[in-house]
A and B are shown apart, each in its own frame.
Chain A
Amino acid sequence: MNIDFTAEELQFKEEVREWFNANLPADLKRKSELGIALNKEETQTWGKILNSNGWAAINWPKEYGGTGWSVSQKHLFDEVRVEVGAPNIMSMGVAMLGPVLHAFGTDEQKAEHLPRILNYDDWWCQGYSEPGAGSDLASLKTAAKLEGDEYVVNGSKIWTTYAHYADKMFCLVRTSTEGRKQEGISFLLLDMNDPGMTVRPIVSIDGEHHLNQTFMDDVRTHKSNLVHEENKGWTVAKYLLTHERTGIAGVAGSKAAIAKLKALAKKTIVDGKPAIENEQFAMKIAQVEVDLKALEYTNFRTLAASATGGAPGAESSLLKIKGTQIQQLLAELKVELAGYLAYPWGTLGEAGPEDFGHAVASYNFGRASTIYGGSTEVQYNVMSKGILGL
């Protein structure tokens, strides 16, 4: 057993650090360090900078314009990213659609979409969940009927993150009501500008607009926008779930959050002394840090296993459950540190130290991490079935 990275890997880490320091715009770094989500333009700006260096898709194989990095390299990249305060931009195109097209896309689909995903030209949103189909995704009802060369889509998707930014949507639709629910689902690509697509904003409890409900009313799309075969969409969706999910544990992010929390607790004076000198508070940070250490090494073990070919299956549930728990605890501690400064809402910039400006909003929105991407309860079910055989 040996936990050291190789000399080449450490050299790699140094190069990544240098590149970030040279190329990360100061305004984006500042926003990222304050925990403020980047807007569409900022995301695209940063995405294009990454892409100019071939780093837009660290999870993609080289042949499709990805980095082709080893799991260690991806891990180190992530560590440096949070260390230098670079934003963790979320591209559902890079994270989700890309791997799907690599595995199931036609040559035309790959040629049309992959470069535009890499260069952040198209913003993709994920249309899976519906009002009646959340944890029980397979019960989705949005229907696509083939009429001539076109699918006609009717129904509604909900919780569609950044649908209001999106140019396109990959979605799961029902193409058959026969047999098992899972066997009548197809994976379809839609254009947000298609006639019949409407987007209703949903403001979340951080006071921000990330979420939407999307309505499809006789939306027509050419049948060439079907990915994989008709009624095989569940296979595609499941492939994505079991596909290697780098960083699902969020270790690097939580490490950075702990460092920031400590720094903040050092400069926040509470009743005559820095908050970090309050033993009760320091112990709570220590407890989370200890928990994170356990998660970090569990994550290493999973990385090592997948490096030698074992695909993480139900184990990734463990990483998600513990990872989100730690993220939520850290957000909670920051709110605790804010004290009365948790009150000012929305316009805190002027009202209090800006370090707390987004502490509470992040805590609020952070509650979602145990709901989306398979809720914690669902992850427990996955593990009890998949690992314990219950």
Chain B
Amino acid sequence: MDFSLSEEQQLIKESVDKFIAKDYVFENRNKILETEDRFSRDLWKQYAELGWLGMALPEEYGGFGGSAVENMLVSEAFGSAMVLEPYLSTVVMAANALVLAGGSEDQKKELVEQIIAGDLLISVAYAEAESGYNLANVSVTANGSGDSYSLNGEKIVVLNAPSADKFIVSARTSGEQSDQSGVSLFLVDANATGVELTSYNTMDGGRGANITFNNASATLLGAEGEGFEVLDQVIDIATAAICAQALGAMNTAFQRTLEYIKTREQFGVPIGTFQVLQHRLVDMFMAVEASRSMVYMVSMSLASDDANERRAAVSSAKAFMGPEARKVAQEAVQIHGGVGMTEELDVGHYFRYLTLFCGTFGSTDYHLKRFAELTQ
């Protein structure tokens, strides 16, 4: 058993952590929120130059061949500052979808290389109005063959969609609405005719869109009808990444609260002298520590050859961390009192960020059920 980082991993961690502490302070993030994209294209370029975008992607696609641990390190640091750049959408989700889908290597390689260089943004569109969290529940249809397919239907809450150059879209090529077989993945140009976005800001500060496809032309990724396994694995990888992000956010919210109760005085003493609050901070600390264990666990399990083992690991982490994240978020606000309720303090922003974590890529209930079914 060894939980220590390799030398390279240690270096990555130090450089990402340093950047976050120095350049991604709350005020700077707020400035980014005032821009139209609501993320910084300059910083995105910088991440590419520092090699962060390709860190956990395979070498044959121009990446550095790192493992899920590298991805975990970046994700935790990004979560600790609620980084707005589309790392999750483009790198964790889209690049992994391209890598994992079968099909033309040349096409995929070019796209992943562009992603790693910071020149291409892709968002993955999978959720639908009535799909819940079931990735196989797909009503968007794709008709066609060979090089030419056309998509019809609607996807909801596609993160970072307004700034994406392309979308990877799950669509049904055969079967019933919830069949796993018959789900295929497609690549669609964001400005293709028949692609229409209803864009909005998202609660965590980013941008998202609902997308309707009206005979939109699309390129098949991998084998027709066999997209589910790929999508399922991509969402598992992404779930592990948001668990790491949530860990970072939980830890910051906890640290802020710990600092606050030492300095805020009421009744002539720091409120941290009240045992009630001391114990609550210990609870928050324990939530962070246990979550860290789950984040390590899931990061080490992602590479498993046994898909069910991977799924159970991911679901256990997400099911565990949902309630813990919510608790830390709620306690951070509560213990800050009135000031925790404001837009002016970062604590409320962590609260919103963690609220969204709970319902992303599967709720606590969804993952508990999935875990139960996988481990019966």
Interface residues of A (CB under 8 A from B): 129, 132, 134-136, 139, 158-159, 202-205, 207, 211, 269-272, 278, 280-281, 332, 335-336, 338-348, 350-352, 360, 363-365, 367-368, 370-372, 375-377, 380
A135 to B169, CA, bound (A): 52
CB <8 Å contact, B338 and A380: no
A203 to B344, CA, bound (A): 7
CB <8 Å contact, A348 and B200: yes
CB <8 Å contact, B133 and A271: yes
Interface size for chain B: under 10, 10 to 19, 20 to 34, or 35 or more residues? 35 or more
Q: Mark B123-153, 1 if CB is under 8 A from A, else 0.
A: 0000101111110010000000000000000
Q: A270-B132, A375-B337, A377-B276 are in contact. Are A352 and B156 (CB under 8 A)?
A: yes
CB <8 Å contact, B157 and A340: yes
CB <8 Å contact, B338 and A336: no
A269 to B360, CA, bound (A): 17
Q: Closest CB of chain A to B126's CB: distance in Å?
A: 10
CB <8 Å contact, B156 and A364: no
A211 to B265, CA, bound (A): 22
A40 to B201, CA, bound (A): 27
Q: Closest CB of chain B to A181's CB: distance in Å?
A: 10
Measured between beta carbons, the chain A residues less than 8 angstroms from B355 are 335, 342, 360, 363-364
Q: Which of B133, B266, B268, B349 interacts with A134 by CB under 8 Å?
A: B266
Q: Which residue of B lies closest to A346 (CB)?
A: B201
A25 to B145, CA, bound (A): 56
CB <8 Å contact, A376 and B132: no
CB <8 Å contact, A344 and B330: no
Most buried by B among A134, A270, A340: A340
B181 contacts chain A at the CB level, 8 A cutoff: no
CB <8 Å contact, B202 and A345: yes
Measured between beta carbons, the chain B residues less than 8 angstroms from A129 are 338
Q: A135-B266, A203-B342, A281-B365 are in contact. Are A272 and B130 (CB under 8 A)?
A: yes
- Name B230-288 residues within 8 Å CB distance of A: 265-268, 274, 276-277
Measured between beta carbons, the chain B residues less than 8 angstroms from A364 are 348, 351-352, 355
Q: Which of A134, A340, A376 interacts with B334 by CB under 8 Å?
A: A376
Q: Closest CB of chain B to A147's CB: distance in Å?
A: 31
A272 to B178, CA, bound (A): 8
Closest 6 CB pairs of A and B: A271-B132, A205-B348, A270-B132, A136-B266, A340-B157, A203-B343
B177 contacts chain A at the CB level, 8 A cutoff: yes
A18 to B137, CA, bound (A): 46
In the complex, 16 of the A-B residue pairs with CB atoms within 8 angstroms, ordered by the A residue number, are A159-B338, A202-B343, A205-B342, A205-B348, A211-B341, A270-B130, A271-B134, A272-B130, A339-B359, A343-B159, A344-B200, A344-B201, A344-B203, A365-B341, A371-B334, A376-B334
B299 contacts chain A at the CB level, 8 A cutoff: no
B79 contacts chain A at the CB level, 8 A cutoff: no
Measured between beta carbons, the chain B residues less than 8 angstroms from A272 are 130, 132, 134, 137, 177-178
B363 contacts chain A at the CB level, 8 A cutoff: yes
Measured between beta carbons, the chain B residues less than 8 angstroms from A368 are 338, 341
CB <8 Å contact, B342 and A202: yes
Q: A203-B343, A367-B333 are in contact. Are A343 and B157 (CB under 8 A)?
A: yes
A377 to B279, CA, bound (A): 13
B10 contacts chain A at the CB level, 8 A cutoff: no
Q: Mark B322-361, 1 if CB is under 8 A from A, else 0.
A: 0000100010011001101111100011011001101110
Measured between beta carbons, the chain A residues less than 8 angstroms from B274 are 377
Q: Mark B301-318, 1 if CB is under 8 A from A, else 0.
A: 000000000000000000
Measured between beta carbons, the chain A residues less than 8 angstroms from B130 are 269-272
Q: A351-B198, A360-B203, A363-B355 are in contact. Are A343 and B341 (CB under 8 A)?
A: no
Measured between beta carbons, the chain B residues less than 8 angstroms from A136 are 266-268
Q: Mark B201-216, 1 if CB is under 8 A from A, else 0.
A: 1111000101000000
Q: Closest CB of chain A to B54's CB: distance in Å?
A: 28
Measured between beta carbons, the chain B residues less than 8 angstroms from A342 are 203, 355-356, 359
CB <8 Å contact, A205 and B132: no
Q: Which residue of B lies closest to A377 (CB)?
A: B276
